[in-house]
Chains A and B, each alone.
Chain A
Amino acid sequence: EDKVVQSPLSLVVHEGDTVTLNCSYEVTNFRSLLWYKQEKKAPTFLFMLTSSGIEKKSGRLSSILDKKELFSILNITATQTGDSAIYLCAVRGDGGTSYGKLTFGQGTILTVHP
């Protein structure tokens, strides 16, 4: 069964700090890893990673995947109060009939204080 573990479960920082969120996974026939941001509503897509060592970047957010060690990190530099949210990591495999579903971790709750 596919599994995703995120750490830390919660994190409290001050504006301007840099944070690193971790995601480790076990999946049958890895296809992709996705990061989502969830505020008081549905998850919004941040990144999809399929290849090791290639950094994806969007503004102050960046992410990288290590397929050998089975983990990914999400970095947020110069944090702002608007970054406060739950950050979800999900993986998709290709094990048997599990061709479509995402398996999510429990999320990291990030709180950014002014």
Chain B
Amino acid sequence: DTGVSQNPRHKITKRGQNVTFRCDPISEHNRLYWYRQTLGQGPEFLTYFQNEAQLEKSRLLSDRFSAERPKGSFSTLEIQRTEQGDSAMYLCASSWASGGTDTQYFGPGTRLTVL
């Protein structure tokens, strides 16, 4: 399977703990995106990378959130001191940037539950 993969698929944690999610994009895709989706809503943009560079961060991304893409391939999203409001599905997508009309392909998501 050469699609976008995410790990873990599910994560349950206690409030105050740190969690880290991983995303492996489609091979050779140079753009990688993180979104968050809560029940009954569409995905909300968090941040994106072009190669190693983090080009945009949403104001939704508080200072407890950090994302990296150290070698321009896989990416990690870390949430520190989790809060119950962080419970959501975290989606990763990737694309090959070409003239601003690239198509983003999504992974299966990581569902986070903060108790």
Chain A positions within 8 Å of B, measured between CB atoms, are 4, 31-32, 34, 36, 41-45, 48, 50, 88, 90, 92, 94, 97-107
- A94, closest chain B residue (CB): B100
Q: Check A98 against B56 for contact (C-beta < 8 Å).
A: yes
User: Which chain A residues border B106 with CB–CB below 8 Å?
Assistant: 36, 42-44
User: Which chain A residues border B4 with CB–CB below 8 Å?
Assistant: 42
- List the count of A-B residue pairs having beta carbons below 8 Å apart: 66
Q: B31 interface residue, CB < 8 Å from A?
A: yes
Q: Check A97 against B56 for contact (C-beta < 8 Å).
A: yes
- Which residue in B45, B56, B91 is a CB contact (below 8 Å) of A103? B45
Q: Which 6 A-B pairs have the closest CB atoms?
A: A104-B42, A42-B106, A101-B45, A100-B48, A31-B100, A32-B101
- A9, closest chain B residue (CB): B40
Q: Check B33 against A90 for contact (C-beta < 8 Å).
A: no
- Give min CB distance, B31 to chain A, whole Å: 6
- Which residue in B41, B55, B103 is a CB contact (below 8 Å) of A99? B55
User: Which chain B residues border A105 with CB–CB below 8 Å?
Assistant: 42
Q: B108 interface residue, CB < 8 Å from A?
A: yes
- A86, closest chain B residue (CB): B42
- A4, closest chain B residue (CB): B42
Given A50-B101, A94-B100, A99-B100, A41 and B109 contact (CB-CB distance below 8 Å): yes
Which of A36, A94, A99, A100 gathers most chain B CB within 10 Å?
A100
CA distance A43 to B50 in the complex (A): 21
User: Which chain A residues border B43 with CB–CB below 8 Å?
Assistant: 43, 88, 90, 102, 104
Interface residues of B in 91-108 (CB under 8 A from A): 91, 97, 100-101, 103-108
- Which residue in B44, B55, B100, B109 is a CB contact (below 8 Å) of A97? B55
User: Which chain A residues border B100 with CB–CB below 8 Å?
Assistant: 31-32, 92, 94, 99
- Give min CB distance, B103 to chain A, whole Å: 6
28 contacts between A and B (CB under 8 A): A4-B42, A31-B101, A32-B100, A34-B103, A34-B104, A41-B108, A42-B107, A42-B109, A43-B91, A44-B106, A50-B101, A88-B43, A90-B43, A99-B55, A100-B48, A100-B55, A100-B97, A101-B33, A101-B48, A101-B58, A102-B33, A102-B35, A102-B43, A102-B45, A103-B45, A104-B42, A104-B44, A106-B40
